[in-house]
Amino acid sequence: SSNNLQGYAPICLGLEDFYIRRLYLRIQDCFGRPISSAPDAWFDVVERYSNDNNKTLIRTSKISRCLNLGSYNYLGFAASDEYCTPRVIESMKKYSPSTCSSRVDAGTTALHEELEEYVANFVGKPAAIVFGMGYVTNSAILPVLMGKGGLIISDSLNHNSIVNGARGSGATVRVFQHNTPSHLEEVLREQIAEGQPRTHRPWKKIIVIVEGIYSMEGELCKLPEIIAICKKYKAYTYLDEAHSIGAVGKTGRGVCELLVVDPVDVDIMMGTFTKSFGSCGGYIAGSKELIQYLKYTCPAHLYATSISPPAAEQIISAIKVILGEDGTSRGAQKLSRIRENSNFFRSELQKMGFEVLGDNDSPVMPIMLYNPAKIPAFSRECLKQNVAVVTVAFPATPLLLARARICISASHTKEDLIQALEVISQVGDLVGIKYFPAEPKKQ
């Protein structure tokens, strides 16, 4: 096969464990490399090579400067920022990197309380609780919210942190077809009659879990339709905005703002600080009663060390910039930049003949490779030309739906994007992944 650049055609034939393991070694060799700078528009990638048996990866000190199309640095805050960085340094001096204590012991600083207020106001809910890790926010909260006798209805492509949280909760879990409101209704109808009061049905509680932007699909949630169905069947809604908060909406307030949904209609809003805010941690925002309940009962609040103070300061400062409270219009500029960059990049890729998933305005852009044997070739050929692209495959996607996932940032310049497009186009021809005819270039 002409696509068999790296000699991995056998994977198409056998898909046996042996080949999959060999393939993963190859993938390891392409991405997943150590980075030695901030994950900005360009970053430093440490070169690695494998020994002759392909068994061990040896780190070298050689570093390449690469155009970064892999990090979730949507608004460009994950680099030195004139407003955030001095404040983060100050908070580091004042509080140290860690509180060395849980929130209920000695781990609540003024920053933690300020952060919760800022987050609640930003997402349009009465209260919020923050955690040191986005993944844990889902996986620890769901078992607190739901238990035996409860029903969780989850989108089939929800993130692993949701899947694990749902499984660990002890509730019954049903899955509906990805982003398909009509199928959600079918699943609900199998469980309860329309209009049946909450007190007269076989489930103590029903919760429907969706994401704002799906991280492997780049697709926006059909939130208005899903909310209408949840209201009809009196189910609670849980919205994970990891990839949408800060990244979409006129003022960065996520899919609710973009799709004109009142946050009142979403019962539980979840999000992470690891993408648009360039920090770490996660939040749940909701009613005062819900947040109070979580503060009394959630083990990740009671027993885990609280979010690092400098990380909390980074989030507060980033929200202030987004809201213009730093006294500049940089936040608004970042928001229009991410939108323009995303829409430009997506439409150029489509014109070149690539199959690109996702919706306009979404900074997540999966380019379909399909055959997992194309992953190493695509990733490595891009890297040879100093463009770092993350490729994703089984088990994060179905086996034969491998893809390269581009993440666009407000910190990419137009020149960066044009350079990336040229490289991706050449590599796309080489690897054979332009599935549609290219649009003729305008003179």
- Of the two residues 142 and 373, which places its CB atom closer to ligand PMP in the complex? 142
Q: Residue 394, by phi and psi: left (phi above 0), alpha (psi -120 to 50) or beta?
A: beta
- CB of residue 342 vs ligand PMP: minimum separation in angstroms? 17
- Of the two residues 142 and 235, which places its CB atom closer to ligand PMP in the complex? 142
How is residue 48 annotated by DSSP? E
- Of the two residues 132 and 428, which places its CB atom closer to ligand PMP in the complex? 132
- Of the two residues 138 and 314, which places its CB atom closer to ligand PMP in the complex? 138
Q: Which of 220, 201, 301, 299 is nearest to 258 (CA)?
A: 220
- Of the two residues 209 and 427, which places its CB atom closer to ligand PMP in the complex? 209
How far apart are alpha carbons 258 and 193 in whole angstroms? 32
- CB of residue 74 vs ligand PMP: minimum separation in angstroms? 12
Stretch that binds ligand PMP, among 37-45, 106-114, 116-124, 240-248 (CB under 6 A): 240-248
Sequential DSSP letters for 337-403: HHHHHHHHHHHHHHHHT--B-S-TT-SEEEEEEESTTHHHHHHHHHHHTTEE-EEE-TTSS-TT-EE
CA atoms within 13 A on the CB side of 272: 26
How far apart are alpha carbons 417 and 423 in whole angstroms? 10
- CB of residue 162 vs ligand PMP: minimum separation in angstroms? 7
Scanning the structure block, which residue is given the tokens 């905005």? 241
Which of 3, 68, 154, 161 contacts ligand PMP by CB under 6 A? Answer: 161
How far apart are alpha carbons 163 and 156 in whole angstroms? 9
Site string for ligand PMP, 54-83 (x = CB under 6 A): ------------------------------
Which of 209, 242, 248, 290 contacts ligand PMP by CB under 6 A? Answer: 242
- CB of residue 39 vs ligand PMP: minimum separation in angstroms? 13
How far apart are alpha carbons 140 and 158 in whole angstroms? 16
Site string for ligand PMP, 271-290 (x = CB under 6 A): -x-x-------x--------
- Of the two residues 134 and 263, which places its CB atom closer to ligand PMP in the complex? 134
How far apart are alpha carbons 260 and 272 in whole angstroms? 21
- Bridging pattern class, strands 127-131 and 42-50: unpaired
Radius of gyration of the chain (CA): 22
Q: Does the protein bind ligand PMP through residue 138 (CB under 6 A)?
A: yes
How far apart are alpha carbons 383 and 390 in whole angstroms? 10
Which of 159, 222, 253, 337 contacts ligand PMP by CB under 6 A? Answer: 159
Which of 3, 102, 169, 215 contacts ligand PMP by CB under 6 A? Answer: 215
- CB of residue 389 vs ligand PMP: minimum separation in angstroms? 17
3-class secondary-structure state, position 302: helix
Stretch that binds ligand PMP, among 15-23, 128-136, 193-201, 336-344 (CB under 6 A): 128-136
3-class secondary-structure state, position 78: coil
Which of 240, 257, 267, 313 contacts ligand PMP by CB under 6 A? Answer: 240
Stretch that binds ligand PMP, among 133-141, 322-330, 358-366, 370-378 (CB under 6 A): 133-141
Q: C-alpha angle with apex 122: 117 to 128, nearest 5 degrees?
A: 40
Which of 43, 118, 135, 238 contacts ligand PMP by CB under 6 A? Answer: 135
> Which residues form the interface with ligand PMP (CB under 6 A)?
133-135, 138, 159, 161, 211, 215, 240, 242-243, 272, 274, 282
